[in-house]
Amino acid sequence: MTDIVKELEKKDPQEQEFHQAVAHLLSWVRPVLDNRPGLARQAIVERLIEPDRILIFRVPWMDDSGQVQVNRGFRVEMNGVLGPYKGGLRFHPSASLGTFKLLAFEQVFKNALTTLPIGGGRGGSDFEPKGKSDDEVMRFCQSFMAELARHIGPDIDVPGGGMGVGVREIGYLFGAYRKQTGKHAAVLTGRGLGWGGSAVRLQSTGYGIGYFAAEVLATEGRSLEGMTCLVSGSGNVAQHTAEKILELGGKVLAMSDSTGHIFDEEGIDAAKLAFIKRLKNLKRGRIHEYVDKYSEATFMEVNRGLDHNPLWDHPADCAFPCAAENEINAKDAANLIRNGVQLVCEGADMPCTPEAVDIFLDSDVRYAPCTAANGGGVAVSALEMAQNRMLLNWTAEEVDGRLRAVMKNIHRQCVETADEFGQAGNYLVGANIAGFTRVVNAMQDQGLI
């Protein structure tokens, strides 16, 4: 298997994050590959790591001063064996092809774990929405969709939201699609409630993370009741993770954005969380403004010179990294453990570095990987697709009930698979092997394509 990764490194040397993800997955699914030698003869792994197709395109747009800007658009259609490609868009200046290949690869297994009929894809742009006017974001989205529209469709590829792509961006993207094609088709999820969106999609990733954390704790007869929690980020995932933690009786001590974190010993309660939502979603403000309103809290600015993130140095029972990749490194993991953390539940995609993950797995900490814990977002996107096909809207209670059932089912698969492979309690082994097996079985069923 090291040959496969070496070959990948030679072919695409600049995509280190993707190589890392492939090497990591292969290390966890080795028992399956060893038990099923036929997989090697069918080059299943080699086929899995080669995307079905990749689109890269120019996105020219005009800024408010009349200057033309040029960004790059991407869509990686990774594996369509389980259904139409499904996965979010990300608009972030650091995004590159390697990022999208990594995210699309992980999405394949995340989606498989939901057991809903969705393949895996991911895309977006190196466009930075921060600091842009609504008009600039609209013009960018229209140009992005001018190319993407010809490649997506309800049975082909259905992108959703993600980092930097919220309700506003999905609205502009959908409007552009409709104008260009003349179709009010179900080609994007996370749409507005009045025009094809699903109840609870906005909240679903965070709510699902809360449900998953509760399931993990329940295996030991515990719950989130009274648990102190650190949540990073203050975007869609962080907001709704915090909201569910509060509903389930936990206490949220910290939240952050890319400029730093706030710490509130008294707890970020529902009213304070509503303030953060208004600040981030409507005002598009910075997290330090929280301490202007709530003087009992403190703000600590990001210091890139540090070898650790001070957010993870506060004593707490649970950590929910919900912002970005690699935001918990080995030092942060050691700090969390030293301060008595009992559960680390990943809300963002790959927020813990491989070294941090190894430290958690070697400790008594319960570690819930993103592939399992944050699948609620894409699951409700699939439920949005189902409702669109029926021309029906389910109630919030109906969708939330289904979301809860999906998260319970993902949890059960992780536990049962980890048990079956002699690694009881290892959610990473459970999630990776269960997702991988579902995809591989379907690939075998469908023949050499």
Q: Which is nearer to ligand 2IT, 206 or 250 (CB)?
A: 206
Q: Which stretch binds ligand NDP (CB under 6 A): 137-145, 229-237, 262-270, 424-432?
A: 229-237
Residue closer to ligand 2IT (CB basis): 197 or 310: 197
Interacting residues with ligand NDP between 365 and 404 (CB under 6 A)? 374, 377
Question: CB under 6 A: which stretch of 34-42, 192-200, 250-258, 397-405 binds ligand NDP?
Answer: 250-258
Q: CA–CA separation, 349 vs 288, rounded Å?
A: 25
Q: Shortest gap between Cβ of 3 and ligand NDP (angstroms)?
A: 30
Given the rule CB under 6 A, which of 18-26, 72-80, 162-170, 384-392 is the region that contacts ligand NDP?
162-170
Positions in 321-350 near ligand NDP (CB under 6 A): 322-324, 327, 347-349
Q: Tell me how far, at minimum, the Cβ of 31 lies from ligand NDP, in Å.
A: 27
Q: Within 13 A of 49's CA, how many CA atoms are on the CB side? A: 23
Cα 392–Cα 398–Cα 402 angle in degrees, nearest 5: 110
Q: Which is nearer to ligand NDP, 102 or 146 (CB)?
A: 102
What is the Cα–Cα distance from 61 to 191, expressed in whole angstroms? 23
Say which DSSP state 115 is in. Answer: T
- Interacting residues toward ligand 2IT by CB under 6 A: 86-88, 110, 160, 162, 189-190, 349, 377-378, 381
441 binds, among ligand 2IT, ligand NDP, none (CB under 5 to 8 A by kind): none
∠ at Cα 167 (161, 169), nearest 5°? 75
Tell me the closest approach of the beta carbon of residue 198 to ligand NDP, in angstroms. Answer: 12
Cβ neighbours of residue 344 under 8 Å, at least 6 residues apart?
318, 319, 321, 328, 333, 336, 352, 360, 365, 366, 367, 368
* H/E segment holding residue 401: helix 396-420
Is residue 236 involved in binding ligand NDP (CB under 6 A)? yes
Distance CA 417, CA 37 (A): 20
- Nearer CB in complex with ligand 2IT: 166/250: 166
Contact segment (CB under 6 A) with ligand NDP among 74-82, 145-153, 180-188, 235-243 equals 235-243
**Beta pairing, strands 53-62 & 85-91:** unpaired
Token pair for 323: 């912002």
Edge-to-edge strand list for the sheet holding 119-125: 53-62, 68-79, 119-125, 85-91, 157-160
State which of residues 73, 197, 235, 430 lies at the interface with ligand NDP (CB under 6 A): 235
Q: Which of 71, 143, 189, 205 binds ligand NDP (CB under 6 A)?
A: 205
Closest distance to ligand NDP from the beta carbon of 302 (Å):
7
Interatomic CA distance for residues 159 and 125, integer angstroms: 13
Cα–Cα distance for residue pair 345/75, rounded to 1 Å: 28
Q: Among residues 228 and 236, whose Cβ is nearest to ligand NDP?
A: 236
* 281 is a contact residue toward ligand NDP (CB under 6 A): no
Residue pair 93/54 in contact by the 8 Å Cβ criterion? no
Displacement of CA 82 from its chain's centroid (Å) = 19
User: Would you count residue 167 as binding ligand NDP (CB under 6 A)?
Assistant: no
Residue with Cβ nearer ligand 2IT (15 or 325)? 325
- Cα dist from 289 to 92, 277, 294, 301, 395, whole Å: 23, 12, 9, 12, 35
Kindly state whether residue 164 participates in binding ligand NDP, applying the rule CB under 6 A: yes
Q: Is residue 237 at the binding interface for ligand NDP, with CB under 6 A as the rule?
A: yes
Contacts with ligand NDP by CB under 6 A lie at: 88, 130, 161-164, 166, 205, 233-238, 256-259, 322-324, 327, 347-349, 374, 377
